[in-house]
Amino acid sequence: MRLSAPIYHLKRKAKRLSREEGIPLHDALDRIATTEGFSAWSMLAAKAAAITPAGRLFPQFRPGDLVLVGARPEGKTLMSLELAVEAMRSGHRAAFFSLEYTERDVLDRLRAIGVGPAQFRELFEVDCSDAISADYVVKEMAAAPRGTFVVIDYLQLLDQRRENPDLSVQVRALKSFARDKGLIVAFISQIDRSYDPAVKPCPDLDDVRLPNPLDLKLFDKTCFLNNSEVQFRAAS
């Protein structure tokens, strides 16, 4: 069961209800919980605590967002797939374009997070063509409905073929396309080897490996991971 609003909004609603009706806050919290389908606030709180990081992050994305997902050394692909699953659970389509993995690899990683590929067969698309580029994605997603979640695996491979435009040109093209179509486009990104987790718990924009120039301010949201640490923010 998905909450109708973030838990802090529900708490504010309960406080307002407590003031307006002159009832104890715990009674107001329980009343709000019943409107969400729970018998008591404690049950709702337990449900909220069990929501995965991807479950907490996905509601913060908006159609048109360009998202950067980075980790060192691992976790970024699984997080991107978890976000795709959250999109599909919300009734949206999802597409995974990979220059790194085969379709079997991608489906195996879905299974690794407890999702059977058949569960979202009509909503999930995997494309592992060697021809993947911004133009290719735009062509393939031309008919995608608003809210579709698109993963590109990964950022640093988009311009590896000489015939492809510069990375900056491709990212700008996908940003424009995402906004025009109302899609959410997430790029998986490598993190530079110089990142030191002893210095900061998670990498950030300064740690993104950029073999070719790219203005990282093009990204609307960022999600960086290191082991169990997850940091999400709007890019400045």
- The whole-model pTM stands at 0.79
| Domain extents in the chain | 7-50, 53-234
Distance CA 175, CA 173 (A): 5
Residues 91-110 have a mean pLDDT of 95
**pLDDT of 81:** 96
Residue 204: is its pLDDT beyond 60?
yes
* Average predicted confidence (pLDDT) for the chain: 92
CATH of region 53-234: 3.40.50.300
pLDDT value at position 194? 94
Assign 148 to helix, strand or coil: coil
pLDDT digits (tens, 9 = 90+) for 2-38: 677 767 678 889 999 999 999 999 999 999 999 999 9
Phi and psi at 97, nearest 5°, equal -100, 120
CB distance 158 to 168 below 8 Å: no
What does the block give as tokens for 162?
């000489």
